[in-house]
């Protein structure tokens, strides 16, 4: 591939002049500029980013650590990040943690090694202190979906507790009392917080959450399916299911269909996340919106502001919002229907 030197020689100018034309860092005589531009095209010149990074001490790359790129949740986060980064002329370098502490660390290290100008980190498996330690090597790092007190101003998170609370409140408002919790069998903060929100709402309604129906499994469509299938067969008095996330809720819906439940009247189902899955199931899922794409964009904005040393004040805390669709019915209606059949 052609280098800046090749271009300079062919255009009879110095490499500085070529550099100026490429970067627009200073004015160049029109004739020379045109000649350079022409030669660049002829030679299909593409500046070497490695050399640029080395000389200029910035790479123009934004690193992002996610868990699993195929998961709609991370894919959406990534999209938000990419959109915003591209607008700022930066490239996104993605590395996967695969829900594993060691791989998460390796992912961060490789991004560090690439000298990304900034890092957006989604990590659940590395302990706070170790993460802080790793990130201390990075000029700018923003943490998403996690709150670390020491760097609270560089954390962007979603209020999972409020999400669990609001979702459950919504179910209670529809008259449901026998509400089951379909949880995730993994103690990450998301899960714990949503569950606490669930318990709080129940407690406030005078329902003892210890007596609430609960089942725990994998946070996937399949996990939700299996859990719901078992639960409903043994506890037919349950009139509403609060799932940890939309994937589980979708599995849940499928199980109920298979058990010939008429939805949503025979049983209401509520999710949290608001991913695309909720739009394709029938009935469409009533859920709580988790603005992932927005979070991704905000994380990048924050990172860019930090890079530019602007103290740009912005929310780093996103609140949930209930999205009403078709999977939750009021209990009254359900009961009427049941007694009628």
Partner DNA sequence: GTGAAAGCGCTAACAT
Partner DNA sequence: ATGTTAGCGCTTTCAC
Stretch that binds DNA, among 8-16, 120-128, 132-140, 272-280 (CB under 7 A): 8-16
Would you say 169 and 199 are in contact if contact means Cβ atoms under 8 Å apart? no
The CB-of-250 to a copy of itself minimum distance in angstroms stands at 4
3-class SS at 317?
Answer: strand
112 forms part of the interface with a copy of itself (CB under 8 A): yes
| Near DNA in 12-51, by CB under 7 A | 12-17, 19-20, 22-23, 25-29, 32-33, 45, 47-48, 51
Distance CA 228, CA 222 (A): 10
Our CA angle for 256, 174, 339, nearest 5°, is: 60
**What would the DSSP string read from start to end of 61-129?**
EEEEEES-TTSHHHHHHHHHHHHHHHHTT-EEEEEE-TT-HHHHHHHHHHHHHTT-SEEEE--SSS-HH
3 forms part of the interface with DNA (CB under 7 A): yes
**Cis before residue 283, ω within 30 degrees of 0?**
yes
Our CA angle for 9, 14, 20, nearest 5°, is: 120
Of 5, 16, 87, 282, the one binding a copy of itself (CB under 8 A) is: 282
65 forms part of the interface with DNA (CB under 7 A): no
* Token code pair at residue 79: 């999209």
The CB-of-112 to a copy of itself minimum distance in angstroms stands at 5
Stretch that binds a copy of itself, among 118-126, 185-193, 211-219, 279-287 (CB under 8 A): 279-287
Query: What is the DSSP-derived secondary structure letter of residue 308?
Result: T
Would you say 172 and 205 are in contact if contact means Cβ atoms under 8 Å apart? yes
3-class SS at 143?
Answer: strand
323 forms part of the interface with a copy of itself (CB under 8 A): no
308 forms part of the interface with DNA (CB under 7 A): no
Q: Which residues contact 101 (CB under 8 A, 6 or more apart)?
A: 125, 126
279 forms part of the interface with a copy of itself (CB under 8 A): yes
The CB-of-69 to a copy of itself minimum distance in angstroms stands at 5
The CB-of-309 to DNA minimum distance in angstroms stands at 16
Nearest to DNA of 14, 315 (CB atom): 14
Distance CA 320, CA 291 (A): 8
The CB-of-243 to a copy of itself minimum distance in angstroms stands at 13
Distance CA 168, CA 248 (A): 16
| Near a copy of itself in 30-59, by CB under 8 A | 44, 46-51, 53-54, 59
132 forms part of the interface with DNA (CB under 7 A): no
| Near a copy of itself in 146-175, by CB under 8 A | none
The CB-of-29 to DNA minimum distance in angstroms stands at 3
Would you say 327 and 282 are in contact if contact means Cβ atoms under 8 Å apart? no
Positive or negative, the Cα torsion across 143, 148, 151, 153? positive
59 forms part of the interface with DNA (CB under 7 A): no
56 forms part of the interface with DNA (CB under 7 A): yes
Distance CA 5, CA 19 (A): 10
Of 217, 251, 271, 320, the one binding a copy of itself (CB under 8 A) is: 251
Alpha helices, DSSP H, located in the chain: 4-11, 15-23, 30-43, 49-56, 72-87, 101-113, 128-135, 160-173, 189-204, 221-234, 246-258, 277-280, 292-307, 331-340
Stretch that binds DNA, among 5-13, 148-156, 235-243, 246-254 (CB under 7 A): 5-13
92 forms part of the interface with a copy of itself (CB under 8 A): yes
Binding site for a copy of itself (CB under 8 A): 1, 44, 46-51, 53-54, 59, 68-72, 75-76, 78-79, 82, 86, 91-96, 109-110, 112-115, 137, 221, 250-251, 253-254, 257, 276-277, 279-284, 293
Binding site for DNA (CB under 7 A): 3-5, 12-17, 19-20, 22-23, 25-29, 32-33, 45, 47-48, 51-52, 54-57
């Amino acid at each position: 591939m052609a280098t800046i030197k090749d271009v300079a020689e062919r255009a009879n100018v110095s490499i500085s002049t070529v550099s100026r034309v490429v970067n627009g860092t200073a004015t160049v005589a029109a004739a020379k500029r045109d000649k350079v531009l022409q030669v660049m095209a002829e030679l299909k010149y593409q500046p070497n980013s490695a050399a640029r990074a080395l000389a200029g001490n910035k790479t123009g790359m934004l690193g992002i650590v996610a868990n699993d790129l195929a998961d709609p949740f991370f894919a959406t986060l990534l999209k938000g990040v990419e959109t915003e980064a591209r607008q700022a002329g930066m490239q996104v370098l993605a590395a996967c943690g695969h829900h594993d502490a060691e791989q998460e660390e390796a992912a961060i290290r490789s991004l560090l090694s690439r000298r990304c100008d900034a890092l957006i980190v989604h990590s659940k498996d590395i302990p706070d202190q170790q993460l802080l330690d790793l990130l201390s090597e990075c000029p700018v790092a923003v943490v998403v979906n996690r709150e670390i007190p020491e760097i609270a101003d560089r954390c962007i998170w979603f209020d999972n507790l409020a999400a669990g609370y609001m979702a459950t409140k919504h179910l209670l408002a529809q008259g449901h009392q026998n509400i089951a919790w379909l949880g995730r069998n993994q103690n990450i903060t998301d899960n714990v917080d949503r569950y606490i929100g669930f318990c709080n709402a129940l407690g406030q309604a005078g329902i003892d959450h210890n007596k609430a129906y609960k089942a725990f499994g994998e946070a996937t469509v399949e996990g939700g399916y299996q859990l719901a299938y078992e639960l409903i067969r043994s506890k037919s008095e349950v009139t509403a299911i609060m799932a940890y996330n939309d994937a589980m809720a979708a599995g849940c819906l499928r199980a109920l269909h298979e058990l010939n439940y008429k939805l949503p009247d025979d049983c209401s189902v509520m999710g949290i996340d608001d991913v695309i899955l909720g739009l394709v199931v029938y009935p469409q899922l009533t859920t709580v919106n988790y603005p992932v794409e927005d979070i991704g964009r905000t994380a990048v904005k924050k990172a860019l502001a930090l890079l530019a040393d602007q103290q740009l004040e912005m929310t780093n805390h996103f609140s949930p919002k209930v999205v009403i669709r078709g999977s939750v019915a009021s209990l009254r209606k359900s009961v009427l229907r049941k007694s009628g059949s």
